[in-house]
């Protein structure tokens, strides 16, 4: 007799999680609570309610978390100019801590004994969900069906549905890409993408046109920053999630944000995936531009030095960790004067900085000019500066040491 009486499941309404509902009911003889989060995946989430009801679920949570997702997760991450392994903008990674938090909160609200998710035993998401859950509720029980059952193929999942009259949409032909979407990105894995040499098919992309098909005329956009976050587009104030929605549309129309990478998963394997992060691509370029005139040099370099570690922390699932909190505190402190406006030129897959301005700018035209500076900078000072910095090199060379 199982001691699990109630489980909260992260539920999309798709094939995998629909099977998981019934599998949990059959295997653990337990009540299932479903939780469906709208984090901007671009699909209606309300149909998940009818699907859950058809499976006998009595407690159904469907929540719009778009504003919280961008405000409390995406924006803090972009303050650090975060990018994993030089390319990946962490679209999937940054959504998992929010989902884990709500799973735990709903478990507390409903008196559930466990939480469950549909992540496979090969991927990073199982780690992210569970590290978050354990950090927020140390004694929580986690049920990961993909690590327990033998339903390890689409055909077996569909056969399970047939045997138990589980209502799911059956698509003919080849299996679709494994996709994950939220307001920050959409990812694609599987099928031909499992061959790193195979080029992604053009009809796979959903959020952007190809650079070749983008308009022949550039689009200009102005982003207003306050303490490192975008607060307005072209002078119009917007909530964080509306900012990202708007930038996704602008960037997608201009062929911006496509990425094809092979990344190193935390579980040890290399994985090839394609990503569309149109709005995020603009945000990264613009944030670096406004920081370039508002941040002190050493602060900027310090941020750049810790960014790979911060990115790794998020990628590996340690959002709810003391090291991420410490890094975030440092990063947020650096953003006090990251205020102003950046003007961007969007054209055929490119994001070019066309201008930047700030009342908190550290750029001093009188000092930087190549023209007459009226004594603002004494060029003779450079001689002593150079000699002092060359001192150790001169001493070593004088001793005959080779580089």
| Catalytic residue selected from 16, 113, 180, 229 | 16
User: Which tokens hold the place of 287?
Assistant: 């944030």
Name 84's Cβ contacts closer than 8 Å, sequence gap at least 6: 90, 93, 263, 311, 312, 314, 315
Check the annotation: does 71 bind a ligand: no
Does 15 show up as a binding residue in the annotation? yes
Would you call 2 a catalytic residue per the annotation?
no
Here the tokens at position 373 are 């500076």
Helix (H) or strand (E) holding 142: strand 141-143
- The answer to whether 290 and 260 are in contact (CB under 8 A) is no
Ligand-binding site membership of 34 (annotated) = no
User: Distance between CA 163 and CA 148 in Å, rounded?
Assistant: 19
Q: Which of 125, 285, 356, 358 is catalytic?
A: 125
341 is in an annotated binding site: no
Residue 187 marked in a binding site: yes
Known binding residue 88? Answer is yes
| 178 in active site | yes
Separation between Cα atoms, residue 183 and residue 280, nearest integer Å? 9
Rounded distance, CA 315 to CA 53, Å?
Answer: 34
Catalytic residue among 72, 154, 178, 361: 178
Of 22, 79, 96, 285, the active-site residue reads: 96
Instruction: Flag whether 118 is marked binding.
Output: yes
Q: Find, among 39, 387, 356, 371, the residue nearest to 225 by Cα.
A: 356
Q: Is 234 known as a binding-site position? A: no
Number of helical H runs and strand E runs in the chain: 13, 14
Active site residue 96: yes
14 is in an annotated binding site: yes
309 is in an annotated binding site: no
User: Is there a binding annotation on residue 321?
Assistant: no
SS3 87: coil
Binding residues for L-citrulline: 88, 93, 124, 128, 178, 187, 263, 275
Binding residues: 10-18, 37, 88, 93, 118, 120, 124-125, 128, 178, 187, 263, 275
Binding residues for ATP: 10-18, 37, 118
Binding residues for L-aspartate: 120, 124-125
Active-site positions read 16, 96, 125, 178
């Amino acid at each position: 007799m199982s001691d699990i009486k109630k489980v909260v499941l992260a539920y999309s309404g798709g094939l995998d999680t629909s099977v998981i509902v019934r599998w949990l009911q059959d295997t653990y003889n337990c009540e299932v609570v479903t939780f469906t989060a709208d984090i901007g995946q671009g699909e209606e989430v309300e149909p998940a309610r009818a699907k859950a009801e058809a499976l006998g679920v009595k407690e159904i949570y469907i929540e719009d978390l778009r504003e919280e997702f961008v405000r409390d997760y995406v924006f803090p991450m972009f303050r650090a100019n975060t990018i994993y392994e030089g390319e990946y903008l962490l679209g999937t990674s940054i959504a998992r801590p929010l989902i884990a938090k709500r799973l735990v909160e709903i478990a507390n609200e409903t008196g559930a004994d466990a939480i469950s998710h549909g992540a496979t035993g090969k991927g990073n998401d199982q780690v992210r969900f569970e590290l978050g859950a354990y950090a927020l509720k140390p004694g929580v029980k986690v049920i990961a069906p993909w690590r327990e059952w033998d339903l390890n193929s689409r055909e077996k999942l569909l056969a399970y549905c047939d045997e138990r009259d589980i209502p799911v949409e059956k698509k003919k032909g080849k299996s679709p890409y494994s996709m994950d979407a939220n307001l920050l990105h959409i990812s694609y894995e599987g099928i031909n993408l499992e061959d790193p040499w195979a080029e992604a098919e053009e009809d796979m992309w959903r959020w952007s046109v190809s650079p070749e098909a983008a308009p022949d005329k550039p689009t200009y956009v102005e982003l207003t920053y306050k303490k490192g976050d975008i607060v307005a587009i072209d002078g119009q104030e917007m909530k964080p999630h509306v900012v990202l929605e708007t930038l996704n549309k602008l960037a997608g129309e201009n062929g911006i944000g496509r990425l094809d990478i092979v990344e190193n998963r935390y579980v040890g394997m290399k994985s090839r995936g394609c990503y569309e992060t149109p709005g995020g691509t603009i945000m990264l370029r613009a944030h670096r531009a406004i920081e370039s005139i508002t941040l002190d040099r050493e602060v900027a370099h310090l941020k750049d030095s810790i960014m790979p570690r911060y990115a790794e922390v998020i990628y590996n699932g340690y959002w709810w960790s003391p090291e991420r909190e410490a890094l975030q505190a440092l990063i947020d402190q650096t953003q006090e004067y990251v205020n102003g406006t950046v003007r961007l030129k969007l054209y055929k897959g490119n994001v070019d900085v066309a201008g930047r301005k700030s009342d908190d700018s550290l750029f001093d035209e009188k000092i930087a000019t190549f023209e007459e500076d009226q004594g603002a900078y004494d060029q003779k000072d450079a001689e002593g500066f150079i000699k002092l910095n060359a001192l150790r090199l001169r001493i070593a060379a004088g001793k005959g040491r080779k580089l």
